[in-house]
Structure 1
Amino acid sequence: MNSDNQFVGVLLAGGRGERAKPLTLAGPTYLRSKALIPFLGRPLIEWTVEQIHEQGADDFYVVAHGLENRLQISSLLGAGDRHGVSVRYSRTRLDRYNTGSGAATLHNIEAWDLTGDALVLPVDSVVDLDVAAMRRRHRESGAVVTVAVVERPAAEVAGKYGTMSADADGLVSEFLEKPTREVADRLAREREDQGLGSALPTSAGLYLVDCAALRDVVRRAGLVRRGTGTLDWGGDLLPWLVGVGCPVVTHPIGEMGDLGSVPDFLLSAIGALDGRFPHVTRALGPSLDGASAVWIDPTSLALPDPRTGLTLAEKIVTGMVEIGPGVRIGRHVEIGPGVRLDHADLGDGVDVAEGATVSRAVCADGAIVGPHAVVTDSYLGPLVTVGSSRRRPARLQAFTALGDGAAVPPGIRLSQVTVYPGLRIPREARVPAGSRLASAQEVLDLAG
């Protein structure tokens, strides 16, 4: 039990990550938890735990779901000793109640007997959050739930984000989950008429909860005993709370990066490399020259490439490579001459051969980018091979994503293409833009 003056983190980690495929696929059919997706050299859940721990939470409660999800997360976090925190996991018998983020939260804070403040947050986002400021607003407003919000234009909100109507003090009167463009535009006009600006407050999926008050409200209504029907925070629980008169308020936060899809993941990674998330920038440590947004592990600076025999440090000094801005290079990365990198995250053991360009892209551990390849706005999973040559350069663009161990041949042109783990695209294949290749048979069909 946590007393009323305690503050804990509740991590909603049981989602399947369907939208994020192939980032969440460790094999053609084997899902890794969204919590374990690598983000700038660390699993997502480690970034979350570290950030919230730095701001006062020593106890974390993980809502998991199913055998693999639970084992994957517990094998990483354990009891929390390595991270200087305490970690507990939801009980297996409650999995049947984890039907939506709201239901999962309600059933588990009841099972854990939490009574103080809990920050309920997903594991598929990165945020710029001042916890102390959010807790002050929560206490001063007397809210049962305080919703972290980011203001976005109506066009961006429509069909994608939940939004709400709130007065100048942030007290919410209505929630709308993923409104149509027409509704979003109407809400924007109403806010502008009220002198609040035209941008709409959108939920970051992060909630500060007075556990004792929330438990009391739902217990009296019998909501927590309604079986296994789906109950989400944004679409169900928050509108219900407002409808029964519970005070729900908004709290604006600096930034939110959604990691639930390949485009969102890439945009969030680029944003982090550009400094949008201060806790990430701090954790990356000193940059290459103390000023530019370039981080290179010393083992990579000292690694020569086989073509010239020069180390990366020597190639940087002589201008044989172009690196930055917004670049992170992990350990033992081999960079050839003539390489150009900007807004790119390269994991450990990556090879980027001579003449290649990697821009606004992520290359996970062990990926190979062949000579003169052009990889832009794309994701390369662990151990991916991009075949390429001067005569037949490969080109990947427009949020293309290659799953773990996938391979593509020299000369390939991929635009907005998804390739599942382990698949090898043959030389003769012509892959239409927007294709999603999930099986070997689909690859064979392309080859004709």
Structure 2
Amino acid sequence: MAGAGGQTVGIILAGGRGERAKPITLESADYIRSKALIPFAGRRLVEWVIDSCREQGIRRFYVVAQGLENRSQIKLLLGHGERYGVEIQYSRARFDRYNVGSGAATLHNLEQWDLDDQALVLPVDSIFEFSLSELECTHRENGALVTVAAVARSPLEVAGKYGVIQAEPSGLVGGFVEKPGLERLRELFPQSAGAEDHGMVPTNAGMYLVDCRRLRAAARDPELMRHAHQRLDWGRELLPWLVDHGLPVAAHHIARLGDLGNVEDYLGTLRDVLGGGYPQMDRLMTRPHNEEPRYWIDRTSLETRDEIVGTTLAEKISSGSVVIGPGVRIGRHVEIGPGVRMEYTDIGDGAEVREGSRLSRAACGESSVIGPYAEITDSYLGPMVEIQSERRRPVRLQDFSAVGDGAHLWPGTQLSGVRIYPRLRVPAISNLPAGTHITSSDDILRWV
């Protein structure tokens, strides 16, 4: 049964492979980490999901995993929830073959766990700013089988990327359109025509409050059972099927959704979080070290001396040698050299940022090393990346470049919108077309 007293339980869909987020989801060229374990603002993404839901009263979670690596990685981190003050149970491996899409995985596992009460179904590649109590209120008032969390977005932002919701005058959902183009959006929402940057469109946020008993009953329909054994995604198939068959589906607008499914969205969401755009995460983070400009620096890093001038980070900030702008988080035992400037940047534990470097809207993984006078803008660096920058030959990364775990870049490298896969040693290169993926040494030879 679901949580004691009919409390809402959480169902975390964590079986996706994270193809769009490469190289963030890669530990090596042929070893992909679970999306649940994507590092984000000092923790793994699934930890933020667990904590934010626990703060709103959810104490029992069910994790739908997929395959040996995905399941073992998540279980090694979360265990059975003891560290987080919750209970966690995992889908059984023998049911993996039935998890053909997010909708199918949900339906099969509702039966496996014999859930009859209310559940909040969550993806693991997003963060949400929402009120569970308000979502539950909308669900009750509409007598809904499923209530979809909706986020308002501009048509330009939606086109070709997000599923949209068509509401009926009754307040229930009349239909769904999966990732329509801009012209189709103008037909569906004429009020937004000619105002693509301002007219807002309701989109499916990928989070669902469900009546487990009634959804299980609906899933016994032979047609839906057939879909659930072939291919059944929540957005593309399950929700449209429920609406087409007259089952009540409601929509509830939430404050915000932060997508982390690709490099651009990851960095945009990180900037918004560090900038204070997600109050729930704000409350879960430690209190800022400084309020204006607002930034977080662990005490151990403030006390760490750099190897060039031998002063602590606290001393360098006080003297103005290092300038920390708004939205910066610096983890434990980080070494920062003189002349460093940074804003809206996350620095992982044990990293080193050498003298004269400039970082803006960037993420630097644990134990990464950024050489002198590097310029890192709108870019992601994985754990143990080494940027071998020099004053006369600085490394410059920009426009949503990403460097995978353990990769090394030589002095003089200049990349714009390029992805480097893990553990590669990349000589000085520049002028690669945006969108290039360097996945192997053969790719390096092709471009050098």
TM-score bracket, shorter-length normalisation: over 0.9
Q: Distance in 2 between matches of 1:152 and 1:29?
A: 36
Q: For residue 239 of structure 2, what is the aligned residue in structure 1?
A: 238
1:324-363 paired onto structure 2 within 5 Å: 324-363=325-364
8 A Cα contact 1:189 1:198, kept in partner: no
Q: For residue 305 of structure 1, what is the aligned residue in structure 2?
A: 306
Q: For residue 274 of structure 1, what is the aligned residue in structure 2?
A: 275
1:409-420 paired onto structure 2 within 5 Å: 409-420=410-421
Q: Which runs of 5+ in 2 are unaligned?
A: none
8 A Cα contact 1:96 1:228, kept in partner: no
TM-score, normalisation: structure 2? 0.96
Q: Aligned-pair distance for 1:177?
A: 0.3
% identical equivalent positions: 53
Q: For residue 125 of structure 2, what is the aligned residue in structure 1?
A: 124
Superposed structure 1 runs of 4+ greater than 6 Å apart: none
Q: Distance in 1 between matches of 2:414 and 2:407?
A: 15
2:427 paired with 1:426: yes
3-state SS of 2:345 partner: strand
3-state SS of 1:404 partner: coil
Q: Distance in 1 between matches of 2:88 and 2:435?
A: 41
Q: Distance in 2 between matches of 1:140 and 1:222?
A: 29
Q: Aligned-pair distance for 1:227?
A: 5.8
3-state SS of 2:208 partner: strand
Q: Distance in 2 between matches of 1:216 and 1:236?
A: 17
Q: Distance in 1 between matches of 2:356 and 2:303?
A: 20
Q: Aligned-pair distance for 1:446?
A: 1.8
1:23-42 paired onto structure 2 within 5 Å: 23-42=24-43
Q: Aligned-pair distance for 1:228?
A: 2.9
Q: Aligned-pair distance for 1:168?
A: 5.0
8 A Cα contact 2:412 2:429, kept in partner: no
Q: Aligned-pair distance for 1:221?
A: 4.2
1:213-224 paired onto structure 2 within 5 Å: 213-224=214-225
Letter in 2 for 1:384: V
Q: Aligned-pair distance for 1:142?
A: 0.4
Aligned positions, number: 444
Summarize the Cα distance change of 1:428–1:165 in structure 2 as closer, same or farther, 3 Å threshold: closer
Q: Aligned-pair distance for 1:434?
A: 2.5
Q: For residue 139 of structure 1, what is the aligned residue in structure 2?
A: 140
2:2 paired with 1:2: yes
Summarize the Cα distance change of 1:155–1:227 in structure 2 as closer, same or farther, 3 Å threshold: closer
Q: Distance in 1 between matches of 2:184 and 2:329?
A: 41
2:32 paired with 1:60: no
Q: For residue 397 of structure 1, what is the aligned residue in structure 2?
A: 398
2:371 paired with 1:370: yes
Summarize the Cα distance change of 1:129–1:51 in structure 2 as closer, same or farther, 3 Å threshold: same
Q: Deviations over 1:340-391 (max 9, x none)?
A: 0000000001111111001000001011111111000000000001111111
Q: Distance in 2 between matches of 1:50 and 1:151?
A: 25
Q: Distance in 1 between matches of 2:352 and 2:246?
A: 58
Q: For residue 112 of structure 1, what is the aligned residue in structure 2?
A: 113
Q: Aligned-pair distance for 1:245?
A: 0.3
TM-score, normalisation: structure 1? 0.96
8 A Cα contact 1:154 1:188, kept in partner: no
3-state SS of 1:148 partner: strand
Summarize the Cα distance change of 1:248–1:43 in structure 2 as closer, same or farther, 3 Å threshold: same
3-state SS of 2:317 partner: helix
Q: Distance in 1 between matches of 2:28 and 2:187?
A: 45
Q: For residue 443 of structure 1, what is the aligned residue in structure 2?
A: 444
Q: Distance in 1 between matches of 2:63 and 2:234?
A: 17
8 A Cα contact 1:375 1:397, kept in partner: yes
8 A Cα contact 2:294 2:326, kept in partner: yes
Q: Return 43-52 or 164-173, whichever deviates more.
A: 164-173
Q: Which runs of 5+ in 1 are unaligned?
A: none
Q: Distance in 1 between matches of 2:192 and 2:252?
A: 16
Letter in 1 for 2:233: D
3-state SS of 1:127 partner: strand
Summarize the Cα distance change of 1:176–1:96 in structure 2 as closer, same or farther, 3 Å threshold: same
Q: Distance in 2 between matches of 1:174 and 1:402?
A: 40
Summarize the Cα distance change of 1:205–1:49 in structure 2 as closer, same or farther, 3 Å threshold: same
Q: For residue 81 of structure 2, what is the aligned residue in structure 1?
A: 80
Q: Distance in 2 between matches of 1:14 and 1:148?
A: 21
3-state SS of 2:435 partner: coil
Summarize the Cα distance change of 1:157–1:430 in structure 2 as closer, same or farther, 3 Å threshold: closer
2:46 paired with 1:45: yes
